[in-house]
Amino acid sequence: MAYTFQFRDVFAQKAAIVDGLVLTLELSAGTIVLGFAVGVLAAAALVYGKPWLRKAAGVYVESIRNTPLIVQLFLVFFGLPNLGVTLDAITASMITLTINLGAYTAEIVRAGFESVPRSQIEAGVSLGMTGPQVFRHVVLLPALKNVYPSLTSQFVLMMLATSVVSQISAAELFHAGSIIQSRTFRDFEVYTVIAVLYLALSLLMRAGFGVCYRIFFRR
Amino acid sequence: MSLVELKRVTKRFGANVVLREVDLRVEKGEIIAIIGRSGSGKSTLLRCINGLEPVQGGEVWCDGVAVHDPKSDLRALRARVGIVFQSFNLFPHLTVARNVMLGPTIVKGMAADDAEKLAHEALRRVGLEEKIGAWADELSGGQQQRVAIARALAMSPTIMLFDEITSALDPELVGEVLLVLEAMARDGMTMLLVTHEMNFARRVANRVVFMHQGKVWEEGPAKEFFAAPRTEELRSFLSSVLH
Amino acid sequence: MIRELSLTDVEYLLLAMRWTIALTALALAGGGTIGLIVAACGASGRMLPRYLARGYVGLVQGIPLLVWLFLFYFGLSIFGYNLPPWVAATLGFSVYAGAFLGEIWRGALLSIPKTQWEAGRSIGLTFIEQLRHVIIPQAIRVAIPPTVGFTVQLVKNTSLAAVIGFVELTREGQLTTAATYQPFAVYLIVAALYFCVCYSLSRYAGALERSRRVAR
């Protein structure tokens, strides 16, 4: 079946692609920073909190991890206006993605905290350190180092998952693809280009996280 | 009051009674060796003194603090009680310097420069001043244990607890650690050692305590203790250990 | 015209779950087939199959699932194939699941000690025979908990099939919302339904993991 690939039409829409790419990067960066912070707090609550706090954090983590991201997104963007809270697409995206990443991060970081041997904590306690001091100086860094690969995989996964916010018309990279598709009707070419861009992004991210590891943990 | 006083201390792990009404007194400047079979309760006894293990009965007094009382401020006590563990427990993400400085800076609020001077001094006392910039896993077992001792010394403790600190070391590395302990003894430090090193105990300790089935079975001055054991259990323990 | 959210809607949502489960099952079947090949190649002693497997996994895992779905749904239309949503979804999910399952199963295969491979080789079995009679039976026990865990991911991921028009639970939710204008209530119910299935599966996976460790 003869078909001439017309990538030129797609490349003519460069501006839309670049704009989409920028938003994807912004959403990813913001989500990773905020989601990581939320995750560490939730993990600390799960491991060190009082029973009520542990239960609350547990409910948060389990309800997010057992429901699809797109449903969470629809709940926030379409559902909240029912309750009087209306958010624009970008804000709704950031909130949903952050809450989502926070839950997955919490599980990973929790495993990290629990991987620090008891004897380390005893050593800190025996020097007269308080609980929070032991956490900050003895537990935190070794815990993060232990789960670094899982964490970075989760972050890359989240960057790819930002594509879902296209469904509430946030103009990130995947949404740009849909726009170009409707303008040029070059379905295959468009999504091939989008796919290659995502692939490049994920490879760059992994490489970047590898560099970060060497800077922060390789002494 | 003695520096350490245990009155009828009872300790259980679940249904398992590990310490049965143990009485013990340690005066300032004394060097006490605690020996016994595994499971006799000797490590648990040591860990009750700084509150790492809570007790279910009796009283534990350390440097005037009621350790058995849940309302006591154990944190302040622990800053004065040094403990060295069998598996060193150095912090792998910190250099030797920062391992030793962590306590003084974080717990005592010391300035970094003063803490560093203190670290140099502590490491000099254990003979490892030149390793101050190294990471823990670059050192041998004996060196790591000596750093652990320096870390405890840097807090200027009133008493030092040693929980079988040479048991995890290769035999040729034990000597360097024992030398450090002997120097500390000469300097007048109050020391409680749970140990298997009988010769060291005989030479350096003032008093030896033999633990058996969770009780203080026999205790006495070091020289007579090894020369003339009074109880059958101690005799049998010594003959199995001192072959 | 707007209608009230009623029990009938809940009933329709429940029924739509059938398609979620069906799509998950199809993805497991398709993905499982691909995954077996990827895992076998990835565990091979020879470089070429290993690099091919690594390449496949890296490619699939580096591209969002939505893109894969669109590539199969819209992209294949240029070759004259106008795929119905369920076919495109099955293909997309199979490719996606194949990569992840391939990685999980490769890990399980590699966790079997080298000595087992040697034992097989020493009685004259070929690579495929070793896999079939010696390695895979042992690897299955290791692989089950993470596979069940991944099935939970799959169930959640089927929600994206809604975007290409496949009417599973999430799409049914969109349709119900359009008719009742009650997005909050509708999506809360949808979320609750997903939660029931996923949470049960997660707990099951956890129990499997614990029992496996005890059995060692």
What domain count does chain B have? 1
User: Å from A159 to nearest chain C CA?
Assistant: 9
Please report, in angstroms and rounded to a whole number, the separation of the first and last CA atoms in chain A. Answer: 58
Are the beta carbons of A191 and C74 separated by less than 8 Å?
A: yes
Q: What's the whole-number average pLDDT of chain B?
A: 92
A-chain CB neighbours of C185 within 8 Å are 82
Is pLDDT above 50 for A2? no
- Tell me, letter by letter, the H, E, C secondary structure of chain A: CCCCCCHHHHHCCHHHHHHHHHHHHHHHHHHHHHHHHHHHHHHHHHHHCCHHHHHHHHHHHHHHHCCCHHHHHHHHHHHHHHHCCCCCHHHHHHHHHHHHHHHHHHHHHHHHHHCCCHHHHHHHHHCCCCHHHHHHHHHHHHHHHHCHHHHHHHHHHHHHHHHHHHHHCCCCHHHHHHHHHHHHCCHHHHHHHHHHHHHHHHHHHHHHHHHHHHHHHCC
Size of interface A-B (CB pairs under 8 A): 54
Read off the pLDDT of residues C30-40 as tens digits, 9 standing for 90 and up. Answer: 999 999 999 98
| pLDDT, position C43 | 85
User: What predicted TM-score, i.e. pTM, was given to this entire model?
Assistant: 0.87
Higher pLDDT, C2 or C53: C53
Read off the pLDDT of residues B108-165 as tens digits, 9 standing for 90 and up. Answer: 999 999 999 999 999 999 999 999 999 988 999 999 999 999 999 999 999 999 999 9
Whether residue B212 lies inside any domain: the answer is no
Q: Which of A18-27, A203-212, C42-51, C159-168 has the lowest mean pLDDT?
A: C42-51
Q: Which uninterrupted H or E stretch holds C124?
A: none
The residue in chain C having the minimum alpha-carbon distance to the alpha carbon of residue A194 is: C67
**DSSP letter at B40?**
S
Read off the pLDDT of residues B171-220 as tens digits, 9 standing for 90 and up. Answer: 999 999 999 999 999 999 999 999 988 889 999 999 999 999 999 999 99
| pLDDT, position C215 | 58
The domains of chain C, with CATH numbers, are: 7-215 (1.10.3720.10)
Selecting from A119, A130, A142 the residue whose C-beta is nearest the C-beta of B85 gives A119
Q: Is residue B183 classed as helix, strand or coil in its secondary structure?
A: helix
Read off the pLDDT of residues A174-201 as tens digits, 9 standing for 90 and up. Answer: 999 998 888 887 788 889 999 999 999 9
Selecting from A65, A71, A78 the residue whose C-beta is nearest the C-beta of C159 gives A71
| C-alpha to C-alpha distance for B128 and B27, rounded to whole angstroms | 30
| pLDDT, position A4 | 62
A-chain CB neighbours of B81 within 8 Å are 126
Are the beta carbons of A142 and B93 separated by less than 8 Å?
A: yes
Whether residue B97 lies inside any domain: the answer is yes
Tell me whether B83 touches chain A (CB under 8 Å): yes
Read off the pLDDT of residues C48-58 as tens digits, 9 standing for 90 and up. Answer: 999 999 999 99
User: Å from A40 to nearest chain B CA?
Assistant: 19
User: Å from B96 to nearest chain A CA?
Assistant: 13
The residue in chain C having the minimum alpha-carbon distance to the alpha carbon of residue A182 is: C74
Read off the pLDDT of residues B6-42 as tens digits, 9 standing for 90 and up. Answer: 999 999 998 999 999 999 999 999 999 999 998 888 9
Whether residue B131 lies inside any domain: the answer is yes
| pLDDT, position B148 | 96
User: Å from A132 to nearest chain C CA?
Assistant: 30
**The token pair that represents B6 in the structure block:** 């245990």
A-chain CB neighbours of C198 within 8 Å are 65-67
| C-alpha to C-alpha distance for B82 and B68, rounded to whole angstroms | 18
| pLDDT, position B106 | 94
pLDDT > 70: percent of chain A: 95
| C-alpha to C-alpha distance for C166 and C178, rounded to whole angstroms | 16
Whether residue B63 lies inside any domain: the answer is no
Whether residue B33 lies inside any domain: the answer is no
Which chain A residues touch C if contact means CB-CB below 8 Å? 1, 3, 62-63, 65-72, 74-75, 78-83, 160-161, 163-164, 166-167, 174, 177, 181, 187-188, 191-192, 194-195, 198-199, 202-203
* Angstrom distances, CA of residue C80 to CA of A180, B6, C29, C76, C88: 21, 88, 26, 7, 14
Q: The domain that contains B135 carries what CATH number?
A: 1.20.1580.10
The string of DSSP letters for C173-186 reads HHHHHHHH--HHHH
| C-alpha to C-alpha distance for A136 and C199, rounded to whole angstroms | 33
Chains A and B touch (3+ CB pairs under 8 A): yes
Please count the other Cβ atoms lying within 10 Å of the Cβ belonging to residue C134.
18
| C-alpha to C-alpha distance for A110 and B227, rounded to whole angstroms | 54
**Residue closest to C36 by CA, chosen among C155, C139, C124, C116:** C139
In the structure, what pLDDT confidence band is assigned to residue B103 with cuts at 50, 70 and 90?
Answer: very high
pLDDT > 70: percent of chain C: 98
Selecting from B52, B77, B80 the residue whose C-beta is nearest the C-beta of A122 gives B52
C-chain CB neighbours of A195 within 8 Å are 63, 67-68, 71
Whole domain around residue B122: which residue ranges?
92-156
| pLDDT, position B114 | 93
* Angstrom distances, CA of residue B231 to CA of A185, B201, C47: 97, 19, 70
Read off the pLDDT of residues A22-81 as tens digits, 9 standing for 90 and up. Answer: 999 999 999 999 999 999 999 999 999 999 999 999 999 999 999 999 999 999 999 999
Tell me whether A133 touches chain B (CB under 8 Å): yes
Is pLDDT above 80 for C2? no
The domains of chain A, with CATH numbers, are: 13-217 (1.10.3720.10)
Are the beta carbons of A128 and B50 separated by less than 8 Å?
A: no
Whether residue B139 lies inside any domain: the answer is yes
The answer to whether A136 and A154 have CB atoms below 8 angstroms apart is: no
A-chain CB neighbours of B87 within 8 Å are 119
* Angstrom distances, CA of residue A37 to CA of A41, A103, A137, A214, B66: 6, 11, 17, 21, 40
| C-alpha to C-alpha distance for B66 and B51, rounded to whole angstroms | 10
| pLDDT, position A1 | 36
The residue in chain A having the minimum alpha-carbon distance to the alpha carbon of residue C20 is: A68
**DSSP letter at B107?**
I
ipTM given for this complex: 0.90
In the structure, what pLDDT confidence band is assigned to residue C1 with cuts at 50, 70 and 90?
Answer: low
* Angstrom distances, CA of residue A16 to CA of A23, A123, A182, A194: 11, 57, 13, 12
Are the beta carbons of A66 and C202 separated by less than 8 Å?
A: yes
